[in-house]
Structure 1
């Protein structure tokens, strides 16, 4: 059995990418451990047509596990637990900075830190624009530490017909990196 992939949703805009990623992973039979930041509910209310809890409930029925932000006994908090890597999608700049500097306070930050220290795949999907110099410096630092920085910048050469095509473009790139 393959180790589960940890997917973390932060309060950054672009939750549709993270929701579609979980859907695709579950469709492929990949285990998913979900982590959510405290600000995701606000983003979901602004960006989604369905209540976030309904989406999460549906994913749980399909086998996804979820761990609370203060649950430091969760498997994702330990380097000894099997892991298929971690994707933070969307990744807010504050989350990216905390991961880059090792100043995390939540399970999400700890799980990312474990990926870095264990040399596991860590993919961060920032959606912010424009970027300040300190954002770029944090991204460069994370890249040097072994993380993959995969901005939510879809291509257009595949002639997307709708927003779902753009979302799927990014999700496929994420899956290619896993």
Structure 2
């Protein structure tokens, strides 16, 4: 019997915690098993940016683990998963993953995914970027991760913040061959109004 897909979701302390929350909701709707780990900073950001409590977010996941629990199932390569998404990914978490400094479960789980050659998507959330950030992004990319900043696709003409978030997360889950039905896919320029700007 084929098991259902299983995704590890990490939520770190960068702004944009709603990406992680909505990702968990979408995975549950799609019957994808989710395993959640949140950093302490993520819980602080959650309080700043939403009316949710950590317990509310944890209830969206099929399993959740304290960030200090280095012995959790997701800390081992023998635990079968299809990959990991860090949404959002702070520069601190990115640096830990880039350097292999896995002092937390969140960064340890990502490190395990990379060594097992599983897909790791980091929704890096910071701007502007200095050279250290860019070097860390290069390092994790060389290790096999995908840097996916949550950049809105305006060609989809989002009519709300929610539709913009759903489109972005739909594209992230495309990377795992999971179709959310929330992506307005580009089918070519025919039928679309094109505007030419001439420099005079």
SS in 1 for 2:154: coil
Q: How does 1:50-65 map to 2 (within 5 A)?
A: 50-57=52-59, 59-60=60-61, 64-65=62-63
Q: Gaps spanning 5+ residues in structure 1: where?
A: none
Match of 2:135 among 116, 129, 137: 137
The question of whether the paired residues in 2 share the 8 Å contact of 1:3 and 1:83 is answered with yes
Q: Gaps spanning 5+ residues in structure 2: where?
A: 177-200
Q: How many residues align?
A: 174
SS in 1 for 2:40: coil
Q: Greater share of helix residues, 1 or 2?
A: 1
CA–CA separation in structure 2 for the residues paired with 1:52 and 1:73: 21
The question of whether the paired residues in 2 share the 8 Å contact of 1:125 and 1:149 is answered with yes
CA–CA separation in structure 1 for the residues paired with 2:39 and 2:149: 19
In structure 2, the residue matched to 1:46 is 48
SS in 1 for 2:79: coil
TM-score, normalised with respect to structure 2: 0.84
Match of 1:123 among 121, 124, 128: 121
Higher relative contact order, structure no. (Cα contacts within 8 Å, ≥ 6 residues apart): 1
Bigger radius of gyration among the two: 2
